[in-house]
Amino acid sequence: MSDIVGIDLGTTNSLIGVVESGFPILLADDNGERLTPSAVYFPDGAEPIIGRAALRARSVAPQRVVSSIKRLMGSAQRAGPLDLSPEEISALILRQLKGNAEHAVGREVTRAVITVPAYFNDAQRNATKRAGELAGFTVERILNEPTAAALAFALDRGQAKARIAVYDFGGGTFDLSILQLNDGLFEVRATNGNTQLGGDDIDAAIISHFAPEFSELSPEQAARLREAAIELKHRLSFEENASVELPFYCGAESLRVQLTRSELDRISQPIIDKTRWHCARALADARLKPEELDEVILVGGATRMPLVRDTVREIFGREPNTSPNPDEAVAIGATIQAGVLAGAISNVLLLDVTPLSLGLETFGGLMNVIIPRNSTIPIKAGEMFTTAVNNQRAMSIKVLQGEREMARDNWQLGQFEIEFEPAPKGMPRVGVQFEIDANGILHVLARDTRTGAERVLELKSAVDVSDEAVEKMLGDSLEHAFEDMTERTWTEAALKAEEMLRAVESIMTQSGAGMSETERAQITWAMSEMREALASKTPARLQRANAVLDEATQGLAALILEQAIR
């Protein structure tokens, strides 16, 4: 038996599995349940209680129950009566899974593969890793959920080549990934999603349908109404109408809530429609038309909703594949990956991609991309930089993430300084290397190649990027593509013009003697034209001024060349 476990640490439900005799199996708790609700109940003065029992406590002590903590992962927010961090609360869930697994297999398990949404940023991945460590695991790998799901599907099918879209609509997150499978080799061609979109939102919409003034309910009433809404939603995946009775809801009075399938469809339509954009974007990034896909797989409990299936059918123009168990596919995939790492399964390899471009700010406030979006990870890439002015003592390295041309429109992940000995501009050489490891975590290294001095950037807390923000970034980059390009062209031309002005100025003072008065006057005029063109911010004018100065300095250039030869 492999000694690495695979874990799906979900917003709503979590699962754990292990490879046994070459097969991934999910481990059940003492009640025979494989799904552990990701909920923690903190009783007054007693140990925390995790899972189904914690959910039950929600209607009696709602303030003492924490759920959907994954939505806060990677943020500085704290939750629950003990004011714990999202990592600490997630660690309690992981510790429970660890205990269940150890009980099932009869010995200690200490190594794990844990899944995260493909769209989790650096801070969120690091927080997940820390949660695993707090629970007593060595985290061998952080794996993207859709990749895990595709892995489970592919192993099941034994298909050698396929283009697969994974549509994962869970409790709190939505992900759409397009993967290419080639003889056991996986490549994520594109990925898009939203960490703040899921079945929870549908629950909230049902609740406000019943109780628009939800905030006026007591916490107990609110919790009971939420449970009723979830029950209705689940039943309406299989029935046309459903009702739930809430006895003694208002003192002695009961409450009966009922809903039909078509009412639920109307309530949830705007939420489910939000997934369309992400699908379109991922297809565009993968440069694929829906008909070029071999398979669309549905993952996540909320894909049981008929409206979700209809929407997917519309988006992709085909019948989605519903053969994997939507609750278990990700955990099965994580377990397979654990088996691969432990050597219990061979012939599978995983390749993932970066969701957004990573780069540096360079001269003129431009974004200089080092690792383009949708690059396959792990990846290492670098570039050489130099100084812009004489005797520059330090260079500031700003690490950026995003798709915009100007540095200021992207997110700054971190910043550090590299110092050097005074030297003429253009002399110092700083090599900057970006490395994204197999877990999707970024390491930035800067080295002064003359002295060998090194700085490594620790991305302690990457900017707190929500997926609405990622979505906005991608949308903005399309919307502003034209202005962005114009601004980049201008900035590059202006940098060139300034450089030329400095060069001509210094040549004029050094070798002015060999010039005629007319020539001198012409150059001086062309230079002032150039300065005005720069100030005017008009690209066409700058272009003309560039040509004029070029023309005026032709003689000067020949003269310098002559002097140099002599």
CA atoms of 360 and 380, how far apart (whole Å) = 15
For ligand ADP, which is the closer residue by CB, 51 or 171?
171
User: What φ, ψ does residue 399 adopt, rounded to 5°?
Assistant: -90, 125
Q: Of the candidates 80, 132, 198, 440, which one interacts with ligand ADP according to CB under 6 A?
A: 198
Closest-CA residue to 62 (of 187, 186, 222, 214): 222
For ligand ADP, which is the closer residue by CB, 193 or 402?
193
Closest-CA residue to 369 (of 269, 467, 477, 214): 477
For ligand ADP, which is the closer residue by CB, 201 or 361?
201
Told to judge if 448 belongs to the known catalytic residues of this protein, a careful annotator would answer no
Residue 387 within binding range of ligand ADP, rule CB under 6 A? no
Closest CB to Mg ion: residue number: 170
Stretch that binds ligand ADP, among 8-16, 278-286, 363-371, 475-483 (CB under 6 A): 8-16
Q: Of the candidates 17, 170, 172, 333, which one interacts with Mg ion according to CB under 5 A?
A: 170
301 touches, from Mg ion, ligand ADP, none (C-beta below 5 to 8 Å by class): ligand ADP
Q: Of the candidates 234, 274, 455, 544, which one interacts with ligand ADP according to CB under 6 A?
A: 234
Catalytic residue among 88, 122, 140, 145: 145
Q: How far is the CB of 94 from ligand ADP (least distance, A)?
A: 14
Residue 10 within binding range of Mg ion, rule CB under 5 A? yes
Q: Which long-range contacts (CB under 8 A, 24 or more apart) does 510-516 make?
A: 511/556, 511/559, 511/560, 511/563, 514/559, 514/563, 515/555, 515/556, 515/559
Q: How many residues bind ligand ADP (CB under 6 A)?
A: 21
199 touches, from Mg ion, ligand ADP, none (C-beta below 5 to 8 Å by class): ligand ADP
Q: Give the SS3 label for residue 51.
A: coil
Residue 36 within binding range of ligand ADP, rule CB under 6 A? no
Catalytic residue among 8, 200, 327, 409: 8
Told to judge if 168 belongs to the known catalytic residues of this protein, a careful annotator would answer yes
- Enumerate residues 469-488 that contact ligand ADP by CB under 6 A: none
Secondary structure of 307-348 in HEC code, one letter for each residue: HHHHHHHHHHCCCCECCCCCCCHHHHHHHHHHHHHHCCCCCC
Helix, strand, coil abundance in the chain, percent, nearest 5:
45, 30, 30
CA atoms of 179 and 28, how far apart (whole Å) = 30
CA atoms of 222 and 211, how far apart (whole Å) = 9
- Enumerate residues 203-232 that contact ligand ADP by CB under 6 A: 230
Closest-CA residue to 407 (of 357, 342, 441): 357
For ligand ADP, which is the closer residue by CB, 6 or 414?
6
218 close to 251: Cβ distance less than 8 angstroms: no
Q: Of the candidates 19, 92, 271, 305, which one interacts with ligand ADP according to CB under 6 A?
A: 305
Residue 302 within binding range of ligand ADP, rule CB under 6 A? yes
Convert residues 153-172 into a mask of x (bound to ligand ADP by CB under 6 A) and - (unbound).
-----------------xxx
Q: How far is the CB of 324 from Mg ion (least distance, A)?
A: 12
Q: How far is CA 441 from CA 113, 179, 377, 399, 450, in A?
A: 15, 20, 10, 14, 28
CA atoms of 343 and 195, how far apart (whole Å) = 32
Q: Of the candidates 59, 195, 237, 354, which one interacts with ligand ADP according to CB under 6 A?
A: 237
Query: How many other CB atoms are found less than 10 A from the CB of residue 566?
Result: 5
Residue 301 within binding range of ligand ADP, rule CB under 6 A? yes
Prior bond to 378 cis, omega within 30? yes
Catalytic residue among 168, 352, 405, 467: 168
- Enumerate residues 313-342 that contact ligand ADP by CB under 6 A: 327
CA atoms of 272 and 180, how far apart (whole Å) = 26
Residue 58 within binding range of ligand ADP, rule CB under 6 A? no
For Mg ion, which is the closer residue by CB, 132 or 170?
170
Stretch that binds ligand ADP, among 84-92, 196-204, 251-259, 313-321 (CB under 6 A): 196-204
Stretch that binds Mg ion, among 8-16, 105-113, 181-189, 519-527 (CB under 5 A): 8-16
Told to judge if 70 belongs to the known catalytic residues of this protein, a careful annotator would answer yes
Closest CB to ligand ADP: residue number: 199
Closest-CA residue to 104 (of 32, 21, 152): 32
Residue 80 within binding range of Mg ion, rule CB under 5 A? no
Location of structure tokens 């471009």: 357
Told to judge if 425 belongs to the known catalytic residues of this protein, a careful annotator would answer no
Q: Supply the DSSP symbol for 35.
A: -
Site residues (CB under 6 A) for ligand ADP?
10-13, 170-173, 198-200, 230, 233-234, 237, 300-302, 304-305, 327
Site residues (CB under 5 A) for Mg ion?
10, 170
Name the residues annotated as catalytic.
8, 70, 145, 168
